Each structure stands twice: as C-alpha cells, then as structure tokens.
Amino acid sequence: MYKIERIKNGVCAPKGFRAAGAHCGFRRNIKKNDLSLIVSDEMCSAAAVFTQNKLKGAPVIVNREHLRDGRARAIICNSGNANTCAPGGLEIAYETCRLTAAELGMDEKDVIVCSTGVIGSPIYIDTFEKGIPRVVKKLSNRGSKAAARGIMTTDKSVKEIAVSFTLGGKTCRMGAIAKGSGMINPNMATMLCFITTDAAIESEALQAALSADIKDSFNQISIDGDTSTNDTVAVLANGLAGNEPVTGPGKDYDAFCAALHAVTTYLCHHIVKDGEGASKVLKCTVSGAPSKEVARGVSLTVIQSDLVKTAVFGEDANWGRVLVAVGYSDQEFKVDNIDISLAAGKRSVPVCEHSVACLFDEDLAKDILSQEEVYILIDLNQGNERAIAYGCDMTPDYVRVNARYRT
Amino acid sequence: MYKIERIKNGVCAPKGFRAAGAHCGFRRNIKKNDLSLIVSDEMCSAAAVFTQNKLKGAPVIVNREHLRDGRARAIICNSGNANTCAPGGLEIAYETCRLTAAELGMDEKDVIVCSTGVIGSPIYIDTFEKGIPRVVKKLSNRGSKAAARGIMTTDKSVKEIAVSFTLGGKTCRMGAIAKGSGMINPNMATMLCFITTDAAIESEALQAALSADIKDSFNQISIDGDTSTNDTVAVLANGLAGNEPVTGPGKDYDAFCAALHAVTTYLCHHIVKDGEGASKVLKCTVSGAPSKEVARGVSLTVIQSDLVKTAVFGEDANWGRVLVAVGYSDQEFKVDNIDISLAAGKRSVPVCEHSVACLFDEDLAKDILSQEEVYILIDLNQGNERAIAYGCDMTPDYVRVNARYRT
C-alpha cells in the first residue's frame, strides 16, 4: 500500500544525522564499543516511550524531564552499566547530558541519555568525562554501525535498519538501531531503540505514532519475561526532508506510521532472532479473537512459555503446552473451539481442531519445527481480530549466558 | 505453638485409609507405576481446589461435580496422560469413576479422578479397565509410597509426608502425597496433592481451611511459570480419630490448620527441590510489606524470574535482577527504600540498602549462593506484612528435560 524501500546507513540515512561509537571503558574486560552518540544538525521533534517497571534507571527519570517540551537533538548511550540503583546515579545522568551538550554546543535539555548493562553496579562520571570528547570526535554520517555496536550487551548481531518513504511527494528517510538479547519482555517500551528521521512531523503526532506502533511491535516481543528498568524507544525527527509537517491524523500520518512499523517490526524480528541462547525465531499469530487485546495477550503468553520454548528447541510437537498457555493467559475468552497449526515457510500442519487433539504427521511437524523460523498459528474462532507476537526458543545456552552475566 | 510430629506411612498414616500404585500401561516406554488409588474405609468430608487455567483437564470438570456434596471416599489418579483435550476425554473420566466405584462397591459420585502427563494425547478406557482391578487388588495400609510413585511424571523423588496432631485431646493424623516437577506455577491450586486425615471436620470447614492454606503454600511456589490444566489439591477427612467434629473457626480449627500448613509447606519445599533440572532450592521472603498480597506477589515474582534463577544457578550475586523483578511485579508499592540480603544457613550478606548498591564481600555472596538452599531476603520497609515464595534455580538440565518431554 505504501512504497517503503530499504536503504543503507541506519540512523545516519536521514539527512542531517551523524553518529559514532567508541570504547571508553564502561566494560573493563572486553574492548568493544561501549559509548554511542547520535546527533542531529537541526533541532528535532522528539518522542519516546519508557519502561513500565516501577523501578526505573536514572536515565529514564532524566529523559522524562528533558522530553517534556517534545524536542531533542542528541542521544548519548553507554553499555556495560545500567545506571540503575547505582550510588549517585541520577546526578551522573544529568552530568552526562551537561558534558555532552557542552561538547556539542547545545542545551543540556536537548540531550537524551540512556544506559544498559549490569544493574546496581557503581558507575563513575570520569568514564563519561573521558569518553564523551572521544565519541564526539568520531561523529560522522557513516557512524550508524559503530553506534549500534556501542549499545550492544550480550547481542551477537548488530541491529540496524533504514528505509525511504514518501510524504506529500517528498522523499523521507527513517533509520534505527536497537539493542536486544536479554531482560527483554514487553511492558510499554522494551529494550533500547533509537530512531531517526528527516520527515517533518510535530512532536505530538510523533508521540501518538510511536505510542500506537509499539502495541504491535516492541510490546509484542519477549525473550525471557523480564522487563528491564531502562527500556527506552526514542525517535528524533529533524524535518530536513522538507515535507509539509505532519500534524495529526491523515494520509501523511498513515504513511509515516507505515514506515515506522516497517522499521520497528524489522527490529523486533532481529531482536528475538538474537535472543540470548536462541537457535530459532518463534512467531505466534492469534486470529479469530474477539478483540485486539485478546489476540495480543494470548499470542504473547504463548511465546513467553518456557515449556513451549523448550519444546520448540527440542523440535517436539508438544502442542498441548501451547493450549495450556492459551488457557492461562489473563484475557477473557472461550477455550472450547480453538484450532492450532504449526508452520514454517509454505508448509503447515494442523495439530489441534476444536480444542481436541487431531492425528497429525509427526515427521512433518518435526521437520517444520527444525526450521529457523517457526510459526504457531492459533485460531480462537470467536471474532475477527488478530495479532502476532515475536519470541525465540529456549536452549541450554540461555542458561549458560545468564549464569555468569556479570563476569 | 501446636504439637505436630512427623510420623510414617504417608496417606495411609491416618486410620482407615489404604492406598496402592501399579504399572498399568499409560506410560508405554517406562515400567513405572502409572495408576494410583487412595481409599477410605468410611465416608469422608472432602474439599478440593483446582487450577484457574481457563482450559481444564476433563477430570477437573468431573471432580467439581462429584465434590458438590462435600463428600468422597476414593481418589484414582493416572500419570503419563493428562486427559486434557483428548478425544472423548470427559466420557473417559466419568467411566473411570464408574469402574473404580464398581470395583470398590461405592457410589461413583464419591470417587475423585485425576490425570497428569502429556496434554492432547489420546487416552483409552481399556487401560483403566485393565488397570483398576489391578490397583484395587494391591490396596493396603502400607501403600502410600507406591501411590506416590504412581502419580510421578518427571519427578525424581517421592513426595510424601505424615504428621500427628491433637484436636480436643484426641490424637489425629494427616498424610499426603504430591506430584511436582514441571508445569508448576501457582494459580489457585498447583500440581497434584492428595491429603488424608482421620480428623473429624465438616466439609465446609475443611474447604475453608484448604482454601486459606494454599494462599501461603502451593500458590507461593513456581518452577517454570506454566500453570497446568489439571492442578488439584484434594483432602479427605474420615473422622476415625474420634475427635469432636470441627465445624468452623475456633481452637480446634486453628490446630487443624496448623497441621495442614505443616504438611503443605513440607511438600512445597520438596516440590521445588525436585523442580525439573533444579540444583538448588530458592526461597524468597518479603517483609516490611504494606499488605499480605504485596508480600506474596513480590516474593513470587522474584522466584519466577528466569534471570534470577539462572544467576542463582551460576552462583553470581547479580542482585540487580532481584530488584528488577521486584519492580515489575504487578503490586502497588514504593520502590525507593528496599533492602536485599542473600542468606544460607546462619550466614547472610546485605547487597542492597535503601534501593542502592552497597559494597559487599563477593566471596561470601558466592559461597552463600553455592549452598543447596538459598534465601533472598527483601525488606520493602513500608509495613509489617510478610510472605515467602518457594522456587528453584534454572539449569541447562531444565531445557534438556523439557526439549523432549513426550519421548
């Protein structure tokens, strides 16, 4: 319906954005990028969604304050330490914004600050003092990958995307980087994701678009059921594409939302694919639901079940566990006429009809479950709403990765 | 406060109860007991609590009907097949009660039927037809262990207990067996547990005692966050101890509840100890809570966190994950003044004070986490209520056990 095309350069694809990443010493044992910066040449409309965990990382508290005016120009983010429950953490988050703003010659209130990594470890301002000038010096319009690497923790793959789309006849661009892997469970916003665009859009419309989008993107993914204290998805829109500014509902707003959804669902896929220890992507679609909420809630409950996840890892068509998870989801609906199929690529196999076991080809089911991307298709047969949730299997490596995360 | 003493013989310890277990062919690959029977010589007051999963195993539906009059005399239970979503499952559950009642010469409405095992696999009445006479023949007042073995699935240890206690000067006995191991997550009743007693207690008082007890026993345990479709805790009280019947609140009711709680918490401990793949018992106490519900909810959320469980397996004092789980629990309370300690035996180490990291002895913390029973002590510092939740660590073996559960 909308023409959305993949382009290169991630968060630097939109006009007027530069980025960088550098190793600055937040992570002592590994020499990987651990400080990232994204900067717009011009002031941006800004919108963000944050964790719903009652306990919030210090940066989340600062960002709520800095984004009150719907404007921002830079995002600074370290990895290796979440700055959550760290002594003096709030002051350090403010100071990080001040140092970044001073180095870039902008107002400290236009800086968004994020942190990810170990929770409750001391964090020191010196590391930022030394690191910020270093990362500012590296800023370039080819710096998206370096920035994407700088926010990674246990991630194995860089998560980056950019697309072009059209608003009012003008070509616009949107780019994004994200961090995934562990402590990934939807609750409002999940994980870190930074999105840039040169589309002109007012901050209220931008916030509305983002808040609506995450309900079917980041809020529908789960790797381990643990909701982080630092989850942040932030969008900067600098308007350099020169389109007539999007101010609210209408054709351009819909086109913007379509581009945003293409970007966020791409990242959802790649976040779960790179889930800690994951060997497969697991997607669950729920159709025939009486409401969107039921479809979202049920699909999410299924991909969160440790028992479903381990069965998928074992390539065992133990679909009873799927139905059990459907049953304990906290949504209200009827469970007496549910159909379940397993699918991969173009092949599928029904395993349950009208909530009763049906005879099925175990070899075909096993073969489907051995693919890299497995679908669980659930039809509740009581309405027309549908939703999809994104997860991964659970493997012995998940336990290994998390048994010694701090070392 | 109450004199409660451990005695032998499990569910056969109370006067007038016999039990048996036998291999009858529900499990084809392993020659272990897979059908169990518990019978009282006299009619019993009966009470039960069942799963809150919207999807219910056929036996749960039958038992709700059979227990409407608060009376029962026998419990028949197979393992290896949950009789949930199996074709014709409801008819098979009714027929199982009829066959058992005929063999024992009682009313079919006085039989409680339970099933545990794979969900959605076909189950056949012939296996019951052959098995029931076999298990009836084996009934004896030494049969508790055989019955306990008959309800086990992936359990490695027999879960059985008996105690003696006093009501109105009369010695009473209470015994119980339970099944644990996987798909264990509190929601009303969790897992299977059958309790017998020769105390005289009216069925309404018995139901009240059981419903109150599970809030701090079975509803506070979790192994994998998956709520089964077949969870059932049932109590049979035949009155043969000759005490003045307990009819409601009072001294005897409290003494009965104390004995019941001793039995249920013993089983909780042994169920989580034998959690699938578990290497350690993990107990979380929450004190200083504004209400009992907050204390229960928070402690349970902590022991359900995969990230907390894997850190405990890795003996890594990554206590930030504990605070994260506290923060995403769905209870309402303040998170700015929380103290956390890790403890085992008589040693403990504070790791977080006033919601901020404190310096701690990492070697001591590691040593505490290497013990077989680890406590996470959380003080919310905002009230006087407390609760405890029971769980276990998560190991690579959990994944291995569950990757190929059906084979």
**B317-326 pLDDT per residue, tens:** 988 889 888 9
Interval A252-311: pLDDT, tens:
999 999 888 888 888 888 888 887 788 999 999 999 999 999 998 999 899 888 889 999
B291 pLDDT more than 80: yes
Q: How far is A298 from chain B (nearest CA, A)?
A: 12
Name which of A44-53, A252-261, B96-105, B131-140 the model is least confident about: A44-53
A174 pLDDT more than 70: yes
For B209-225, what is the mean pLDDT? 75
Handedness of CA B295, B190, B204, B250 (dihedral sign): negative
Angle ∠(A176,A178,A179) on CA atoms, nearest 5:
170
Residue of A nearest to B323 (CA): A55
pLDDT at A286: 96
Q: Among B82, B183, B399, whose Cβ lies nearest the Cβ of A394?
A: B399
**B118 and A320: CB-CB below 8 Å?**
yes
Out of 3.40.30.10, 3.40.50.720, 3.30.420.40, 3.60.70.12, which CATH number does the structure's domain A5-273 have? 3.60.70.12
Burial class of B369 by CB neighbour count within 10 A (0 to 12, 13 to 18, 19+): buried
Confidence of residue A17 (pLDDT cuts 50, 70, 90): very high
More confident residue, A225 or B350: B350
**B226 and A321: CB-CB below 8 Å?**
yes
For A177-194, what is the mean pLDDT? 63
- Lay out the sheet containing A385-392: strands in order across: A356-357, A347-353, A339-344, A373-379, A281-289, A385-392
**B399 and A400: CB-CB below 8 Å?**
no
**A400 and B398: CB-CB below 8 Å?**
no
Calpha distance B157→A107 (Å, rounded): 64
Annotated catalytic residues of A are 190
The pLDDT mean for chain B works out to 87
Confidence of residue A21 (pLDDT cuts 50, 70, 90): very high
B219 pLDDT more than 90: no
Interval A341-366: pLDDT, tens:
999 999 999 999 998 888 899 999 99
**B320 and A121: CB-CB below 8 Å?**
yes
A189 pLDDT more than 50: no
What is the percent of chain B where pLDDT is above 90?
44
Confidence of residue B269 (pLDDT cuts 50, 70, 90): confident
Residue of B nearest to A406 (CA): B318
Calpha distance A182→A153 (Å, rounded): 8
Residues of A in contact with B328 (CB under 8 A): 52-55, 185, 187, 226-227
Same CATH fold assignment for domains B15-273 and B281-403 = no
A190 pLDDT more than 50: no
Confidence of residue B355 (pLDDT cuts 50, 70, 90): confident
Name which of A92-101, B351-360, B398-407 the model is least confident about: B398-407
Give B335-340 contacts, CB < 8 A, sequence gap 24+. Answer: B335/A54, B335/A55, B337/B380, B337/B381, B337/B382, B338/B378, B338/B379, B338/B380, B338/B381, B339/B378, B339/B379, B339/B381, B340/B376, B340/B377, B340/B378, B340/B379
CATH of domain B281-403: 3.10.20.340
Interval B138-194: pLDDT, tens:
999 999 999 999 988 777 888 889 999 999 888 999 988 888 766 655 443 346 778
Residues of A in contact with B323 (CB under 8 A): 55, 84-85, 119-120, 229
User: Which of residues 65 through 84 in chain B touch A, CB cutoff 8 A?
Assistant: 82, 84
Q: How far is B277 from chain A (nearest CA, A)?
A: 11
**B55 and A396: CB-CB below 8 Å?**
no
pTM of the model: 0.75
Chain A within 8 Å of B102 (Cβ-Cβ)?
Answer: no
**B311 and A403: CB-CB below 8 Å?**
yes
Chain A within 8 Å of B199 (Cβ-Cβ)?
Answer: no
pLDDT at B333: 92
Q: Among B121, B352, B404, whose Cβ lies nearest the Cβ of A85?
A: B352
Which string of DSSP letters, residue by residue, matches A130-166?
HHHHHHHHT-BTT-HHHHHHHT-SS--S-EEEEEEEE
Chain B within 8 Å of A181 (Cβ-Cβ)?
Answer: no
Calpha distance A11→A197 (Å, rounded): 8
Chain B within 8 Å of A307 (Cβ-Cβ)?
Answer: yes
Looking at domain B15-273, what is its CATH homologous superfamily?
L-amino peptidase D-ALA esterase/amidase (3.60.70.12)
What is the percent of chain B where pLDDT is above 70?
94
Residues 6+ apart with CB under 8 A from A51: A57, A60, A187, A188, A189, A190, A227, A228, A229, A230, A231, A232
Confidence of residue B299 (pLDDT cuts 50, 70, 90): very high
Confidence of residue A142 (pLDDT cuts 50, 70, 90): very high
**B357 and A122: CB-CB below 8 Å?**
yes
Annotated catalytic residues of B are 190
Among A52, A219, A307, A313, pick the best mutation site for testing chain B contact (most B Cβ within 10 A). Answer: A307
Chain A within 8 Å of B219 (Cβ-Cβ)?
Answer: no
Interval A103-129: pLDDT, tens:
999 999 999 999 988 877 889 999 999
Residue of B nearest to A396 (CA): B396
Spatial contact of A157 and A274, defined as CB atoms under 8 Å apart:
yes
Spatial contact of B298 and B289, defined as CB atoms under 8 Å apart:
yes
Residues of B in contact with A306 (CB under 8 A): 224-226, 306, 398, 402
More confident residue, A94 or B231: A94
Residue of A nearest to B351 (CA): A120
Interval B36-85: pLDDT, tens:
999 999 999 988 888 777 778 899 899 999 999 989 999 999 998 889 88
Residues 6+ apart with CB under 8 A from B88: none
pLDDT at B208: 86
**B406 and A55: CB-CB below 8 Å?**
no
Label residue B125 left, alpha or beta by phi (over 0 means left) and psi (-120 to 50 means alpha).
alpha
Q: Among A187, A352, A403, whose Cβ lies nearest the Cβ of B314?
A: A403
Among B121, B124, B190, B306, pick the best mutation site for testing chain A contact (most A Cβ within 10 A). Answer: B306
Chain B within 8 Å of A128 (Cβ-Cβ)?
Answer: no
A187 pLDDT more than 50: no
The domains of chain A are located at 5-273, 281-403
pLDDT at A188: 37
Around Cβ A6, how many Cβ atoms within 10 Å?
11
Name which of A208-222, A380-394, B222-236 the model is least confident about: B222-236
For B261-270, what is the mean pLDDT? 84
Whole-complex ipTM = 0.70
What is the percent of chain A where pLDDT is above 70?
94
For B239-264, what is the mean pLDDT? 89
For A325-345, what is the mean pLDDT? 90
Residues of A in contact with B351 (CB under 8 A): 120
Q: How far is B259 from chain A (nearest CA, A)?
A: 31
